Amino acid sequence: MLIETTLDARDMAPPEPFDRATAILRQLQPGQYLRMLHRRVPYPLFEFCRGMSLAYRVNEDAAANCEIIIYFPADERTLRQERVL
Amino acid sequence: MRMKGLSLETIPPIHIPFRFFNTAPWMGVLAALVLLFGTGQPYGSQWSPELLAATHLLTLGFMAMVMLGAMFQLVPVISGRTIPGGTVVATLVHMLLLIGVLLLVAGFYWQAYWLFAWALPVLLGAFAVFLLALGSLLLRRIGGGDAIYSIRFAALSLLITIGLGALRSANYAGLLEPLTLANIANIHLAWGLAGWVLLLVMGASYQVIPMFHVTPSYPSLLARALPTVVLLSLLLLTLIDHTVVQALAVVALCTTAIVYAVYTIRLLNQRKRKIPDITARFWRLSLTCLMVSALLLLGFYFAGHLLSSVELQQMAPIIIGILMIYGFAGSVIMGMLQKIVPFLSYLHLQRRCMSSFELLKTLPHMGEIIPESRSRWQFRLHWSVLLVLLAAAITGFLPSLRHCCWRQILPGWASPWPVLPASTTVPLHV
């Protein structure tokens, strides 16, 4: 069972979502993942993820809200089994 | 302008936008020096050599410098293509703009109008290189959207402003016969301030107010109607020399500016989380200046003849100019830099640290790059400068007050400098 950290950044003004997300990602351990809710795709964050060798998945709903799952590539299979991805 | 498809891979090196951003505040400092050490009566008339020099230092040296630097940053990111020969083009545009502004300002200040014969081709060269390198990319690669709708009108206004300015300069330099369009300087001013500046700020705000401040979006109908009315009003003012038409155009222009300002302040009041935000304060100050300018222009246009004193009649356009250039455009630019500079600095540092997890973890938070206390001080200095500028214009005939005011203005203009990332911070992380 993977441990989820949720960050709802939909009402946050920049750069707070970025700062809060990177603060969480710096502490992230294998077996943990971040579920971030945002009102747009946070492109600059993906570069940070690549630097940290983290994988990410973006799901955009009809209301243009985004759910971003950021995880360790080794956990991908488990995340699929748990239907997170 | 949709943010989807943003391409951060094509982001240019940080020295490209920052060379423009780092030069701009010094143009403001120079404007302060011009007014401080000017020998004449800078506020005696809107056409005084010192005021013309200072105005062009602020509009071309500060405003255009920042705007072009920002475009060098923005266009590759939204178009997904690098600028061919980016560094060379940016260096050329930056140098030409800087040299052109200094020549133009020297021409105004010393009334050495022959210098315009040099300033003109250099400045035209700067804008031509910029447009050739970026303009076609911008037009071809960016779709519709309310922001781009207004920005295209702004670009058109810029071309008209440059064209009218070039004609006027050529006339000054004796390269052209006196122009038939007697009011060309006022039309140049109208296209520059109400066209280029107002339309560009409008276009930018459609994108950045909802994005940076988490507010509802502008209704599309309003977002398109406002710039359309501005453009049509300017065309009427320029082309139809009829009293009633001109009056209607002035009313339409001022009403549009007021509606835009009121609506934007209303949006800012609808921020989802009302935490202190310096950029929002810069916006409010800017929009207040826009409203006051529009009301003053209406009053001056329709009741100016009732003013008994010639000095008062000469003062009104100067007050409107200060409110529009320093109060409206200056506030927006300084407010936006509070957001843009930390973002670019962070992105640059992040790239430098990509090779190592450990380095990446030591990066400062984006919000720490410009400490909030420093931003607050800059805002305080900024509105103090605005107040003393207005006081200096109103009491422009008192040399002692004038000198006192400009002593305060100098540190205010130098203040954009320390908002750039502290040099002590950067090497720690690269």
Q: Where are the domains of chain A?
A: 3-81
Residue B277: list chain A partners with CB under 8 A.
13
CA distance B178 to B127: 25
Q: CA B308 → CA B304, B305, B425, distances in Å?
A: 9, 8, 57
The list of chain B residues with pLDDT below 50 reads 1-5, 397-401, 404, 411, 416-430
**DSSP 8-state secondary structure symbol assigned to residue B11:** P
**Residue A27 sits at the chain B interface (C-beta within 8 Å):** no
> What's the alpha-carbon Rg for chain A, to the nearest Å?
12
For A55, what's the count of Cα atoms within 13 Å in the CB-facing half-sphere?
12
Q: Are A22 and A49 in contact (CB under 8 A)?
A: no
Residue closest to B325 by CA, chosen among B289, B285, B375: B289
pLDDT digits (tens, 9 = 90+) for B366-395: 878 888 899 999 999 999 999 999 988 887
Query: Quick one: chain A helix, strand, coil %, rounded to 5?
Result: 35, 30, 35
| Beta-carbon contacts of residue B40 (< 8 Å; ≥ 6 apart) | B48, B49, B50
Q: Which residue of A has its CA nearest to B7?
A: A43
Distance (Å) from the alpha carbon of A69 to chain B's nearest alpha carbon: 18
Joined together, the tokens standing for residue B7 give 């391409």
**DSSP 8-state secondary structure symbol assigned to residue B408:** H
Joined together, the tokens standing for residue B405 give 């005011």
> How much of chain A, in percent, has pLDDT values that exceed 90?
49
Query: So what's the pLDDT on residue B138?
Result: 65
Q: CA B370 → CA B169, B313, B367, distances in Å?
A: 40, 42, 7
Joined together, the tokens standing for residue B20 give 């423009």
CA distance A21 to A5: 10
Residues B24-37 as b/e (b if ≥16 CB within 10 A, e otherwise) read bbbbbbbbbbbbbe
Answer whether residue A16 shows pLDDT above 90. no
Single-letter residue type at B156 = L
Does domain A3-81 fall under CATH 3.30.110.40? My reply is: yes
Joined together, the tokens standing for residue B149 give 């709708």
**Helix pair B278-303, B243-269: axis angle to 10 deg:** 160
Q: Are B123 and B101 in contact (CB under 8 A)?
A: yes
Contact state of A53 with B357 under an 8 Å Cβ cutoff? yes
Q: CA B349 → CA B188, B262, B428, distances in Å?
A: 42, 39, 10
Q: Which of B212, B275, B360 sits opposite A52 (nearest CB)?
A: B360
Residue A4's CB is within 10 A of a number of other CB atoms, namely: 14
Give the model's confidence band at A25: pLDDT under 50 very low, under 70 low, under 90 confident, else very high. Answer: very high
Contact state of B365 with A44 under an 8 Å Cβ cutoff? no
DSSP-based three-state secondary structure for A35: strand
For residues A62-83, average pLDDT: 88
Contact state of B365 with A19 under an 8 Å Cβ cutoff? yes
Give the model's confidence band at A34: pLDDT under 50 very low, under 70 low, under 90 confident, else very high. Answer: very high
Helical segments of A1-85, H only: 16-27, 43-51, 76-81
CA distance B82 to B86: 7
Strands A3-8 and A32-38: parallel
| Beta-carbon contacts of residue B7 (< 8 Å; ≥ 6 apart) | B76, B77, B78, B79, B80, B81
Single-letter residue type at B136 = S
Residue closest to B164 by CA, chosen among B239, B112, B102, B110: B239
Distance (Å) from the alpha carbon of B274 to chain A's nearest alpha carbon: 10
Distance (Å) from the alpha carbon of B241 to chain A's nearest alpha carbon: 47
Q: CA A24 → CA A4, A78, A81, B199, distances in Å?
A: 11, 21, 24, 40
DSSP-based three-state secondary structure for B335: helix
CA distance B388 to B373: 23
For residues A16-24, average pLDDT: 89
pTM assigned to the model: 0.84
**Residue A22 sits at the chain B interface (C-beta within 8 Å):** yes
Burial group, residue B382, by CB count within 10 angstroms (0-12, 13-18, 19+): buried
Residues B59-69 as b/e (b if ≥16 CB within 10 A, e otherwise) read bbbbbbbbbbb
User: How many residues in chain B?
Assistant: 430
Residue B214: list chain A partners with CB under 8 A.
11-13, 39
**DSSP 8-state secondary structure symbol assigned to residue A68:** E
CA distance B182 to B180: 6
Contact state of B275 with A13 under an 8 Å Cβ cutoff? yes
CA distance A30 to B351: 24
Residue A19's CB is within 10 A of a number of other CB atoms, namely: 17
Element (H, E) at B196: none
DSSP-based three-state secondary structure for A7: strand
**Residue A44 sits at the chain B interface (C-beta within 8 Å):** yes
